[in-house]
Structure formats: C-alpha cells, structure tokens
C-alpha cells in the first residue's frame, strides 16, 4: 500500500473517531444537563420548606364565604391554610414530604365553634354512667363502650343505678362490662346501693380473685368454678372503693381531656366555656402534653373580673389553643334584682374585657339590653361585642338594638322547644352565634343545624348555609377570632371537619344521620372515624 493511500485511510479513521468522540461528548453533556435539571426540580419540589405539610384533595368545600360548596382542595402548612383551589392546582403544590387526604367528594366545612358550653360537664358525662333505663346487658355494654371511646385509659367509669326490676334476674356481671373495655376500671351500682358490679380490671386491682373472702357484712358472687362474677354485695364493695382514691369527678385534667376527645368526634374544633371555673391552667397543661384537641375561650365569673383586668393576652398567657378575656354572669327577670349586676358590668367593661350575660325571658332580655346600652354610653365607644347568652324570649321589637349597640345574640337551637327569631335577627344585620349549652343539652352541632332549618314556619327557619355560618363564622366573631378561624380561607387556622354527607344536598331529616369522618385542628388530625 502506498504511503499516500495509507495516510488517507488513517486520516479517515481519525476523523471518524473524532466525530464519534464529539457526538459522545455532546450526548453526555446533554444527559448531564437533563440530569442536573431534573435533580434541581426534584430537590426544589422535595424541599420541605417549599411545599405544604398536608393537602386535602377531591373535596366539596364550603368555605363559609359563599352560599354553597365548591369542588377543589386545600393546602395546609404550619397549621394554617395556604391555598384553597382546584384539586389539580393543590396537587401541583405537593412535595415529597406532603401528606394527603383524599376527601372522595365528601363535604369539608370550617370546624364547628360552639359558642356556649360547660366543658367540664361534658367530660364528666362520660365518667358517671346513667343506666336507669337499661333493660338488658347489651344496652349496658353499649353505654360503657360509648364512654370508654372518649375517656383516657385507666380512668375509672362509675355510676350505674340500673333498675333491678327492669333487668329482672339479669344482674350485669364482669363479662358484660369487659365487653366494653379492658383498659378502664369500672364500678357500677344498682338502684340498690348494697349491690354493685366491677369489671376484671377493677377486680384485679382490688385483689379480688378466686378464693378471696369478703369482709364481714359482705359477699362476693362466684360462678360454678368459684371465680368472682364481678357482683359485690354489702361491705365487699369497699374492696374496690378503697382503691379508687380521689374521685375521678374531681380529676379536672382527665375530665377536660375526655371533653376534648368527644368534641373532636363531633367536628367541634373550638368552644367557648361558660362554666366560669377558670380552667385555663389545666387546659394549657393538656396543650403542652399534646392532649388538647379543642381551642377553648375560657370565661371566668363577672365578679372575678379583677383577675384579668389590665392584662394583655401575653400577660394572661394566651396561646393559640387557650385564651381568656371573657366574663360570665346572669340576669334576673326582676329588673330591681339587676341593679348590682349593672354596676359590675359597668366596672368590668372599663377594663376592656368581654361580657356575656345569661338571659332568659322578656324581662331579663329587656333589662340586659338597657344595661348594655347604658354601659356603652357611660364608658364610651369601643369594640366590646357584649353578648346575651340564650336570648330566649327575645322580642322582635328590640332586635334593632342588637346591631345598633354591638350586642351579640348567643343562641342554642336545640336547647329550647320553640323557634327563636334568628331569621329576623339576620335580616336586621344583628350578630348571632350558635352553640349547644352542653352538657345540659346535646353537644352535636348537626343536631342544632337540623333544628334551626326545620323548626317553626317559613318565617322562622333559616338555610343550611346560614346555620353552618352561625356555628362557625358567627361564633368566631363572637370571640374576636374572625381573622383566625370560622371560614376556609388562606391564612386562617386549618380547623376543618369532613362529613359523611353533603348536608346542602340532602333532605333535612338526613342531617341527623350524617356523621363526622375526620376532624383537623391546626392541620393535625384529631379524629378519624376509621381508627377512633
């Protein structure tokens, strides 16, 4: 082969190698650029600070700002709502760490805010069981299971008073009680205080087992094998009573934890406590321990207003879950009996605290309206939002004075048998908040909504949307929290409830069959029907 020919072939091969190398380098560069770009996108989307902590997708959302639900989703970060939009837009906000809840076209509402409760009474309701109407063991088991669902583990369940005549010879035994719970000790009395029954947990703690003898004056029922049945008579009851220690009725922390658990199961994310017992410190302990599932506006007695007078929210130690600043008292139907009340209201009002007065009947309502108006005139204008609690028997001729004097009607639809002029109040631009007065009445907000949309004639009934707003935005305004909660909007607390039915589209009677599927407080799931 000639030199020229060989040189030409070498140059050709070299050129081909260089071309392949250049192409390889080009492909590699493109690949690295793509990898870098994809990695950048991945890291940008997966960075926790850039995306929501939680999203709710495929929901029917009633924001409280319109008249009906809309399709979409909600993005939540750091306990607050950061976006309410179409589901695909909310999905695009997600990063790797974002948790998701598929609402499956279920209705999402702002968390219910009960404007009038007695919180410790709600908790105590589950500790002391009333079995006076129980006619068989299944009913006893069911009642105990309901209580055990909400109370803390190891908390005593007591009460009872089952009627021996209704049950006949079927005295309940430990097996009936054990079917309800094996995590809580139980001691129940019959209508005859000389007969009681305990479950296996209580028997074990009291050392009552096979072969155990009762004190003089008592007896321990046993089965055919000599094993205690749980039925105790006479002084044998003291074996269990002796290990109970302090009555659980007075264990405020556990009582309030129970109330909070129950509130969560009903979609109640906020309450305004009218018990006037100053429980803020206990509530803050529960909050610190992660056991408080309900925001509480804790009122104290009007006569004790000096405890809070002159203190800022910071000085009171208010938190996002526990706040104070409200005072509660009662108006009488005899005007002359309210003279001292008027003086206390005027003095307390000067400190800037909110005043709430229990008032039932025309005379009481008229008196408190006059007192509030005189107080405002004497102490000067401010955003005081004075409240009439119950406002039952409120006459229509004085409704105009509510809006004119910045007075809120705090109403409980389920508490009284007849309708109240809520619709008239709303037409007159009066501020109204809904509540229950639990534990005196049923706590369930859906029951209150049902009553308000069905009770009375067309001139008295309100719409579902109005009822929901009064149980959410209305109650939030009544506690100076309308910028924090009450509607589903960007920047507000992610306090939400998911219902099993769209109560805007079903016959009113079916509202009573609607259940809470999930409750969130500050973006934290505090109740999930699938696991609770």
DSSP 424-435: HHHHTT-EEEE-
Model pLDDT, residue 49:
58
Using only the alpha carbons of the chain, give its radius of gyration.
32
Q: pTM for this one? A: 0.88
Instruction: Collect all residues with Cβ–Cβ distance below 8 Å to 289 and sequence separation of at least 6.
Output: none
What is the percent of the chain with per-residue pLDDT over 90, rounded to a whole number? Answer: 81
Q: What is the DSSP letter of 213?
A: P
Q: Please give the Cα distance from 69 to 504 (Å, whole number).
A: 8
CB neighbour burial string for 246-261, b if at least 16 within 10 angstroms, e if fewer: eebbebbbbbbbbbbb
Model pLDDT, residue 170:
66
Model pLDDT, residue 26:
52
Q: How many helices (H) and strands (E) does the chain have?
A: 18, 22
Q: Please give the Cα distance from 191 to 411 (Å, whole number).
A: 37
Instruction: Collect all residues with Cβ–Cβ distance below 8 Å to 48 and sequence separation of at least 6.
Output: 95, 97
For tokens 């018990």, name the residue.
275
Residue ranges of E strands in 164-315: 187-190, 195-198, 218-222, 228-234, 268-273, 295-301
What digits encode the pLDDT tens for the residues 30-65? 444 444 444 444 444 444 458 999 999 999 999 999
What digits encode the pLDDT tens for the residues 352-368? 999 999 999 999 999 99
Give the count of beta carbons closer than 10 Å to the beta carbon of residue 370: 15
Instruction: Give the ranges where 388-490 is alpha helix by DSSP (H).
Output: 400-404, 422-427, 445-454, 464-470, 473-478
Q: Please give the Cα distance from 329 to 359 (Å, whole number).
A: 9
Strands 195-198 and 218-222: unpaired
Q: For residue 174, give both structure tokens.
A: 């430990």
Tell me the average pLDDT of the chain. 90
Model pLDDT, residue 316:
96
Q: Please give the Cα distance from 170 to 508 (Å, whole number).
A: 40
Q: Pick the closest to residue 359 from 398, 330, 402 (CA basis).
A: 330
**Greater pLDDT, 277 or 31:** 277
Q: Is the pLDDT of residue 271 over 60?
A: yes
Q: Is the pLDDT of residue 393 over 80?
A: yes
Across the beta sheet with 195-198, the strand order is 128-130, 158-162, 187-190, 195-198, 228-234, 218-222
What digits encode the pLDDT tens for the residues 430-466? 999 999 999 999 999 999 999 999 998 988 999 999 9
């Amino acid at each position: 082969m000639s030199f020229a020919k060989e040189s030409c072939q070498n140059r050709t091969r070299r050129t081909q190698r260089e071309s392949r190398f250049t192409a390889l380098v080009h492909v590699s560069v493109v690949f690295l650029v793509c990898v870098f770009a994809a990695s950048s996108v991945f890291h940008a989307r997966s960075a926790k600070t850039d995306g929501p902590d939680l999203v709710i997708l495929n929901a029917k959302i009633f924001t409280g700002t319109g008249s009906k639900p809309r399709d979409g989703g909600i993005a939540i970060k750091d306990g607050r709502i950061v976006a309410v939009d179409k589901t695909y837009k909310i999905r695009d906000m997600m990063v790797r760490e974002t948790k998701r809840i598929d609402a499956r076209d279920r209705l999402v509402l702002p968390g219910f805010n009960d404007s009038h409760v007695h919180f410790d009474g709600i908790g105590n309701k589950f500790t002391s069981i009333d079995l006076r109407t129980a006619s068989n063991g299944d009913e006893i088991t069911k009642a105990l299971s309901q209580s055990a669902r909400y109370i803390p583990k190891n908390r005593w369940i007591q009460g009872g008073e089952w009627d021996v005549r209704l049950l006949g010879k079927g005295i309940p035994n430990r097996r009936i009680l054990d079917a309800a719970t094996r995590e809580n000790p139980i001691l129940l009395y019959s209508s005859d205080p000389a007969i009681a029954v305990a479950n296996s947990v209580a028997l074990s703690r009291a050392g009552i087992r096979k072969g155990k003898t009762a004190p003089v004056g008592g007896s321990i029922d046993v089965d055919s094998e000599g094993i205690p049945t749980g039925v105790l008579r006479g002084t044998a009851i003291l074996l269990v009573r002796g290990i109970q220690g302090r009555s659980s009725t007075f264990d405020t922390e556990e009582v309030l934890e129970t109330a909070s658990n129950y509130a969560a199961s009903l979609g109640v994310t906020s309450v305004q406590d009218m018990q006037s017992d100053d429980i803020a410190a206990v509530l803050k302990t529960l909050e610190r321990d992660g056991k408080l599932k309900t925001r509480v506006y804790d009122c104290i007695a009007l006569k004790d207003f000096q405890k809070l007078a002159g203190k800022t929210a910071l000085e009171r130690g208010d938190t996002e879950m526990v706040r104070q600043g409200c005072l509660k008292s009662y108006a009488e139907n005899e005007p002359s009996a309210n003279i001292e009340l008027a003086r206390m209201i005027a003095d307390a009002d000067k400190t800037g605290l909110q005043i709430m007065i229990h008032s039932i009947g025309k005379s009481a309502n008229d008196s408190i309206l006059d007192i509030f108006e005189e107080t405002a005139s004497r102490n000067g204008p401010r955003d005081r939002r004075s409240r009439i609690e119950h406002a039952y028997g409120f006459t229509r001729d004085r409704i105009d004075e509510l809006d004119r004097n910045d007075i809120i009607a705090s109403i409980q639809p389920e508490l009284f048998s007849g309708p109240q002029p809520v619709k008239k109040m709303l037409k007159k631009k009066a501020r109204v908040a809904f509540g229950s007065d639990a534990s005196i009445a049923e706590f369930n907000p859906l029951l209150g909504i049902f009553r308000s949309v069905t009770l009375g004639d067309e001139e008295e009934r309100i719409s579902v949307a109005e009822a929901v707003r009064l149980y959410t935005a209305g109650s939030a305004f009544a506690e100076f929290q309308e910028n924090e909660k009450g509607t589903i909007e960007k920047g507000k607390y992610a306090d939400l409830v998911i219902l099993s039915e769209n109560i805007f589209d079903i016959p009113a009677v079916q509202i009573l069959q609607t259940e809470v599927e999930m409750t969130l407080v500050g973006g934290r799931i505090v109740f999930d029907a699938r696991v609770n």
